[in-house]
Structure 1
Amino acid sequence: MSDDVAAVDVDEVATIVMDNGSGMFKAGFAGEDAPRAMFPSIVASHRNQGVMAGMGDLNFVGDAAQSKRCVLPLKYPIEHGIVTNWDDMEMIWHHTFENELRVEPTELPVLLTEVTLNPKKNREKMVEIMFEKFKIPATYVAIQAVLALYTSESYTGIVLDSGDGVTCATPIYEGYALPNATQRLDFAGRDLTDFLIRLLNDERSGCKFSSSADRQIVCEIKERENLCYVALDFEQEKASAASSSSLKMFYELPDGQVITVGNERFRCPEALFQPSFMCVESAGIHEIVYDSIENCDNDIQKELYANIVLSGGSTMFPGIAERMQKEITALAPSTMEVKIFAPPEREFLVWIGGSILASLSTFQQMCISKAEYDESGPPIVHRKCF
C-alpha cells in the first residue's frame, strides 16, 4: 500500500477480509468493493551467517520479496491452495496487518478464506495462529468457492475457481459446498507459466528463460492483456496460425529484446482444457465441472448447469467463457440450459464475496469469538465454520 493511503479508522470498519491465494494474497475491509492490498504470496529470507554483524535475519514479503528474486530464493507458503509453511504464512499475515492495512489485529475481527477440501488440521492451525499470535477478537473461515458464488446473488450454483496453485469445481446448494461432489486439480496458473516457458524455449533457440527472474517475465507475458487467449476451436486456430502471421504479437523484454509470440498465445491456456499438453493425466476444466454436477442429486443439476461461475486469475483469459459454454453444452443432457458467468472482476471474486459476507448483520454471530476459542480450542472451527 502506498504511503499516501491513511491508516483505516477502526470505528468505521467491522471486519478485515483476507483471501489466502497460492499466488496472490488479497486483503481489505468488509463493505468495500475491492481489496486494498494485493501482493504475491511469497517470502524471501536472508539468514545472517555472521558476515554482516548486527544485521540479523532479513525477511521480505510480497513485492519486496519479488524484487529480491535474483539474489534470494523465493518461498511459496501456500502450495496448491494449502498452507505448507506456517512460519512464512504468519509472516505474510503480520506484513498485511502492519504494513498493508496498518491496523492493530487485536481490535478487529478477521475473515479468512480457505480452499475447498482444506485439511482439518490446517483449518485449526489458521484459527490457532490468529487467536494465539495475533490476539484477534473473533474470526470466521469461509470456503473460497462459496464466497465467489455470493457475488452472483445466488446461493446455488457451481464455481470453477482456478488461481495460481489449484483448480476446483465446487457445487454449492443453498449456500453450502458439497464436498463429496467437488472435483480438484492440482494444476493452475503456476503450471501454465511453466508450460509457457517450455513453449517459448522450444520455439526460439536464441532466447532461453531459466532463472526465477525469467520466470516472472514469462508470467507477465502470460498475463499481458489480450496476449494469451482461449481458442473456441483449438484445431482450427492452430491451422489458422500455421497459414497466416496475423496471430503473431511482439513483446519487449526488460532488456529491450523483442520476441515474437505466435501460436503459444492460445497453446498455453489450451492446457486448461487438455492437461495432457503439460504431461498431466487429468480431465480438463470443462470435464471436472460436468463430472461434479453429474455427481450431485438429479434434483439440483438443472440449477447447477444454469449457474456456472468462473473465478480466479487463471479464468481471466479472453475466450474462456465461450469455450466453457461450448464444451459443457456438448457434454450436458440436451434438456439442460447451460449458463456461464464470468464477471470482469473474477480475479478477486473470492475477496469480494468475503466483503459481502462480512458486511451482513448476522456475520458477528457466525464468528468464533475469543471466549469460544478459549473454551473449546482450535476444533471449534469445525462446529462454527462449514
Structure 2
Amino acid sequence: MEEQVEDISHQFVSMEGLMEKLPMNKKKATLLKTWKRRFFRAKDGWLYYYETSNRDRPSETIQLMGGNVIDLGNRVLGIDDGRGRYLMVRCPTDKEHGQWVVALESQTADNTKATYVRPALAAVRHRKKKVVVIDLGSSAIRAGVLGDQGKTQAHCEAVIGIKFNIELELMGAVFSKVFEELRVKPADYWVMLSTPQNLGDPLKQGLMQSLVDELNVAGVCMVQQALFSLYSYNATSGIIVDIGHRIEILPIYDGFVIEGGVARCPYGAQKVQESLTTSLLGSNYKFHSETEQLLLRYVMEQSCYVAIDYAQEEEFCKDQPQTIRTSVNLAKFHLPEGAYHNVLSALSHSVTLVQQCIICCVSLSYTVHLSASQNCKRSLASLLYRAVFLSGGVTMLPGFAERLERELTKLAPPGVPVEVHAAPQRYHAAFVGACSVALMPQFESSAISRDEWRKDGCRAFRKWKGPA
C-alpha cells in the first residue's frame, strides 16, 4: 500500500529581501572575506541568493528543509543545512531580523517526501509538448505519451514488454510497436529515451537511426536511467542505488555523474530469483521457461523480504518450521491447466534467499559508502550520505531501505547522518523521472532534433557530453 505523506508546504512562510552574507561555510569575516549585500528569497524549503540584479537564476542555494537556523545575536543568523553546508547572514533591521527568523524556521520542517514527483494515474495529453517517453528497463519497456499535469506530476500510458537486451537489429520493430500501441504518428513527436547505462556512440547511433532515419521522429533526448531516477525524487544531487536485474550505484552532483564513484555489479533480481528457484525446488515447484520466470519474479516480490536482524529471524524459523509459511496466489494471471495457481512454501526454506538479500545489502552499503567518501570533498560526502535514493524493483522488498540505512550508518563518519529515501513509485523511478524532465522548458534544447541529426550525424552527440 502506498505510503500517505502529508504535504506541509502550506505552513512555510515565504520571504524575500536584502541581507548581508559571508562566503559559504565561513563563520568569521576577514580582510578578504567580508560581508556582502545580496538579495535573498526563502521559498519551498530553500534559501536562494542573487549576486546581480538578474533574479531569474540564483548565484547559490542552501536547503532549509531538515536544517537548523541559529540566532547568533546582533541580527546575525547561522543556517546549517545538516548536509555539511553553513551560511551566515546579517539582517539590516531588528524588524526584518524577526521576520526572517519566522520565515526561515518555518521552512526547516522536513517536507522531503512530499516533494517526490507523483505520477498521475490519468491525464490529458499535453497540449503543447508532444513527447513520447520510452524507458528501456532491464526487465521491461515502459512507454507513453506525456500528460498535461504540471511540473510535479507526470503521466504516461504504459506499454510493458518482456526482458530484452539492446539489440539494434530489433529496436526498429520495438519502437514501431510502441508508437502503434500509443496510436500516435512518430513524425509529430519528440522522444525522451531512458537507457540502462550511458551508452557508447555506436549504440546511440543505432538508436538514432531507428528513431529518426526510419520512424522520422521530431527529435530525441537520450539519458541514462540513474539520472532520471534522481529527478523522480525532485533532486539533482545524491547517490542512486538502482537494483533491477543488476546493481548500479551512481553518485551524482548537480546533475552530473561523479565517475570515480560509480559501481556496477551483475547481481540483482536475477540472483535473487536463482536462489528462489533452488529454494522452491525443495517444495516441488519448477520455474524454468521465460514465462515462468516472470511468474517467479512476482512470487519474489510478494514473498521475499530483507531481515533487519538475520540471526534472530533464522532462529525464529528453526523454532517454528511448521507454522512459518508463505503463500502467493497466481490465480489472477489466468494460467492454463496444469500451471501452478498457488505457491506455498515454508519460510524456513527461504532463509538462504533472505541471507542472499542481506549479503547483497551489507556489501551494497559498503559500496555506497565508498561512492560517498572517495573522490569527494568532506562537505559533499556529508551531503551524499543524506541523499541515498532507491530505484528498481528489488529495493521494494520490505526491510531493504531500513537495513541499508542501518548498515550505512555503521560505516559513515561519526556525526554524519544517513538518510535512505524510498519513494513509493521507485519501481518505475526512471520512467517517472523521464516524464518530469520532459516537462522542463529546456527539454527541446537538450534534445537532438531531426534536422540536427541529418546535418551533423554523430557529431551532434556533443550536446549530451557533460563537463570534463
Match of 2:464 in 1: 384
Q: Does 1:113 align with 2:194?
A: yes
Unaligned runs of 5+ in 2: 1-121, 331-338
Which AA in structure 2 matches 1:107? D
Please tell me whether the aligned partners of residues 325 and 344 of structure 2 are also in contact (alpha carbons under 8 angstroms).
no
Give 1:304's aligned residue: 384
User: Do the aligned partners of 2:219 and 2:450 also contact (CA within 8 Å) in 1?
Assistant: yes
C-alpha deviation, 1:40, in angstroms: 2.9
**How far off its partner does 1:380 sit?**
1.8
Aligned to 1:210: 288
Amino acid in the other structure paired with 1:262: L
Please say if residues 148 and 353 of structure 1, whose CA atoms lie closer than 8 Å, have aligned partners that are also in contact.
yes
- Residue 265 of structure 1 and its aligned partner are, at CA, apart by 4.8
Deviation of the 1:256 alpha carbon: 4.6
Task: Check if 1:322 corresponds to 2:435.
Answer: no
Aligned equivalent of 1:98: 180
Alpha carbons of 1:264 and 1:116: their partners in 2 closer, same or farther (altered >3 Å)? farther
Deviations 1:143-201 (A, max 9, x none): 2111111122221101001112x211111101111222111011221232122101221
Number of the residue aligned with 2:368:
289
Residues 76-97 of structure 1 deviation map (CA, whole Å, 9 limit, x = unaligned): 2x2xxxx2x1122332221111
CA distance 1:287–1:38, change in 2 (3 Å): farther
Structure 1 Cα separation of the partners of residues 234 and 155 of structure 2: 17
Larger radius of gyration: 2
Q: What SS is found at the alignment partner of 1:23? A: coil
Of residues 325, 329, 337, the one that matches 1:248 is 325
Q: What is the match of residue 73 of structure 2? A: none
Structure 1 stretch displaced more, 369-378 or 352-361: 369-378
Tell me whether 1:239 sits opposite 2:298 in the alignment: no
8 Å Cα contact 1:124-1:379 kept in structure 2: no
What is the alpha-carbon root mean square deviation over aligned residues? 2.6
1:64 counterpart residue number: none
- Which residue is 2:158 aligned to? 37
Gaps of 5+ in 1: 1-5, 43-75, 276-281
Secondary structure of the 2:415 match is coil
Residues 1:86 and 2:171 are matched in the alignment: no
What displacement does 1:288 show?
1.9
**What is the identity, as a one-letter code, of the residue corresponding to 2:366?**
E
Q: Which residue of 2 aligns with 1:25?
A: 141
Match of 1:70 in 2: none
| Secondary structure of residue in 2 paired with 1:356 | helix
1:137 is the counterpart of 2:218:
yes
Residue type of the partner of 2:425? E
Q: Structure 1 pair 348/34, CA: closer, same or farther in 2 (3 Å)?
A: farther
Flag the structure with more relative contact order, 1 or 2, with Cα contacts below 8 A and sequence separation at least 6: 1
Matches of 2:237 and 2:305 in 1, distance apart?
29
Trace 1:186-225 onto structure 2 (pairs within 5 A).
Answer: 186-201=266-281, 203-204=282-283, 206-224=284-302
**Which moves more between the two structures, 301-310 or 253-262?**
253-262
3-state SS of the aligned residue for 1:95? helix
CA contact (8 A) 1:147 1:357 kept: yes
Q: CA deviation at 1:373?
A: 0.8
In structure 2, what residue type is equivalent to 1:17? V
Query: 1 CA distance for matches of 2:310 and 2:267?
Result: 20
1:96 counterpart SS class: helix
Note the C-alpha offset of 1:209.
3.3
1:364 partner SS: helix
Distance across 2 between alignment mates of 1:139 and 1:285: 34
Count, aligned residues: 331
Q: Deviations over 1:239-274 (max 9, x none)?
A: 111112453113356445653241355643542442
User: AA paired with 1:87?
Assistant: E
Question: In the aligned structure 2, how far is the partner of 1:257 from the partner of 1:137?
Answer: 48
> SS of the residue aligned with 2:394?
helix
Corresponding residue to 1:271 among 356, 361, 365: 356
Query: Aligned partners of 1:211 and 1:229: how far apart in 2?
Result: 24
Q: Could you tell me which amino acid in structure 2 is paired with residue 325 of structure 1?
A: E
Tell me the residue number matched to 1:348.
428
In 2, Cα distance between the equivalents of 1:171 and 1:233?
A: 28
Paired residue secondary structure (1:217):
helix
Once the two structures are overlaid, the 10-residue window that deviates more, 122-131 or 171-180, is 122-131
Task: Tell me if the contact between 2:125 and 2:146 (Cα under 8 Å) persists in the aligned partners.
Answer: no
What SS does the aligned partner of 2:175 have? helix
- For 2:300 and 2:199, locate their aligned partners in 1 and report how far apart those are by CA, in whole Å: 28
Q: Secondary structure at the match of 2:375?
A: coil
State percent identity of aligned pairs.
Answer: 24
**Paired residue secondary structure (1:128):** helix
TM-score (norm 1): 0.78
With normalisation by structure 2, the TM-score equals 0.65
The 5 A counterparts of 1:41-56 are 41-42=162-163
C-alpha distance in structure 2 between counterparts of 1:90 and 1:24, whole Å: 16
Q: CA deviation at 1:357?
A: 0.6
Counterpart position of 1:68? none
Q: Partners of 2:457 and 2:362 in 1: how far apart?
A: 40
- Tell me the distance in 1 between the aligned counterparts of 2:177 and 2:223: 21
The Cα of 1:12 is off from its aligned counterpart by 5.1
